[in-house]
A = this chain, B = another copy of it.
Amino acid sequence: MGPKLYCCPESGNCYKVRLLASLLDISLEKVELDFFHGAHKTPEFLAINPKGELPALVDGDILLTDSSAVLVYLAGTHPDPGSSKTPSNYWSAEAVEQAQIVDWLAFTASYISGSLSKARAFKAFNWPPNTSEESIKEAKARGVKSLKVLETKLEKSDWLALGRPTVADIAIYVYVALAPMGDISLEPFAAVKAWLERVKALPGYIPLTGLDQPF
List residues of A whose CB falls within 8 A of some B CB. 50-51, 62-66, 68-70, 72-73, 75-77, 86-87, 91, 95-96, 98-100, 102-103, 105-107, 109-110, 113-114, 132, 134, 148-149, 152-153
B148 to A110, Cβ gap below 8 A? no
List 18 A-B residue pairs with CB atoms under 8 Å apart, sorted by A's residue number. A51-B149, A65-B103, A66-B110, A68-B102, A68-B103, A69-B99, A69-B102, A69-B103, A72-B95, A72-B102, A73-B96, A76-B99, A105-B105, A105-B106, A106-B106, A109-B110, A132-B134, A134-B134
Instruction: Say whether B68 contacts A106, CB under 8 Å.
Output: yes
Copies of this chain, tallied across the complex? 2
The listed residue (B50, B64, B69, B148) touching A50 by CB distance below 8 A is: B148
Which residues on B sit within 8 Å (CB–CB) of A103?
A: 63-66, 68-69
